Amino acid sequence: MTRTPPPPYVPGHGLLAGRTAVITAAAGAGIGGATARRFLEEGARVLLSDAHTRRLKETETALAAAFGADSVAAQTCDVTDEAQVQALYDTAVRLHGRLDITVNNAGLGGTADLADMTDEQWNRVLDVTLGGTFRCTRAALRRFRDTGTGGVVVNNASVVGWRAQTGQAHYAAAKAGVMALTRCAAAEAAAYGVRVNAVSPSLAMHPHLAKVTTTELLDELTAREAFGRYAEPWEIANVIVFLAGDYSSYMTGETVSVSSQHA
């Protein structure tokens, strides 16, 4: 299969100028970190969060050096802890006086056949991936509703939520749940001018994924892609920017597949 190279990096166009965003799992070089950089390039102020304090601080320092300390802040948050989630959103409002966008990127995977999967494995993936998205969406919606200024939620789902993959029952169930949560939250939040959508990537490569996935599986997944390559994290972030901005003003309750997989 011919491998099509990634396209040139797209420059910012001020699509999120003046807006404040919370982005979970934003440390490092994955989709969250790429989204934070893209949001800053588009003029947003960003509050980064992650459960990994050291990596989060490193990301904050690098982005503050590139975009200015006034545009970037960071706060450690374990999305399975309700008190930490509430503190995160309180900080966003305290720092900037408002909240406009939340990107729920935190998730946890793993590989185990269902017959051998433990309750602990199942519950941990569901609690981080689906439960964390629920807690952060709830926290954002309460603030959007109380202020009456509207807002946007973008959740990170996965094509695995639609398609079967061995060893991924817990992750697939969680991501399918994220899609259902997105639809229901959108139906409720429309009454106070809030949009809720999701992206559903197939394969975006980053260092953490390479550490927890075998080379054989990555090769197999890459072979399914029409372009013969995985997505760069910033290619997923571009679609998140679209869903967070005004060009998607009539979209809510949708899950957008960001994939080149063969049908």
* pLDDT tens digits for range 154-168: 999 999 999 888 999
258 lies in some domain: no
Residue 23 has pLDDT above 60, yes or no: yes
- The pLDDT value recorded for residue 237 is 96
Residue 263 has pLDDT above 50, yes or no: no
216: confidence class by pLDDT, cuts 50, 70, 90? low
Its domain, for residue 185, covers 20-253
3 lies in some domain: no
Q: DSSP characters for the chain?
A: -PPPPPPPPPPP--TTTT-EEEESS-SSSSHHHHHHHHHHHTT-EEEEEES-HHHHHHHHHHHHHHH-GGGEEEEE--TT-HHHHHHHHHHHHHHHS---EEEE---------GGG--HHHHHHHHIIIIIHHHHHHHHHHHHHHHHTS-EEEEEE--GGGTS--TT-HHHHHHHHHHHHHHHHHHHHHGGGTEEEEEEEES-B--HHHHHHS-HHHHHHHHHTBTTSSPBPHHHHHHHHHHHHSGGGTT--S-EEEE--B--
66 lies in some domain: yes
- The pLDDT value recorded for residue 79 is 98
CATH number at residue 191: 3.40.50.720
1 lies in some domain: no
2 lies in some domain: no
3: confidence class by pLDDT, cuts 50, 70, 90? confident
Q: What is the pTM of this model?
A: 0.92
Mean pLDDT value across residues 104-109 = 96
226 lies in some domain: yes
The total of structural domains in the chain comes to 1
13 lies in some domain: no
pLDDT above 90: percentage of residues in the chain: 82
- The pLDDT value recorded for residue 64 is 98
263 lies in some domain: no
- The pLDDT value recorded for residue 63 is 98
Mean pLDDT, the chain, whole residue set? 92
205: confidence class by pLDDT, cuts 50, 70, 90? low
- Catalytic annotation, residues: 171
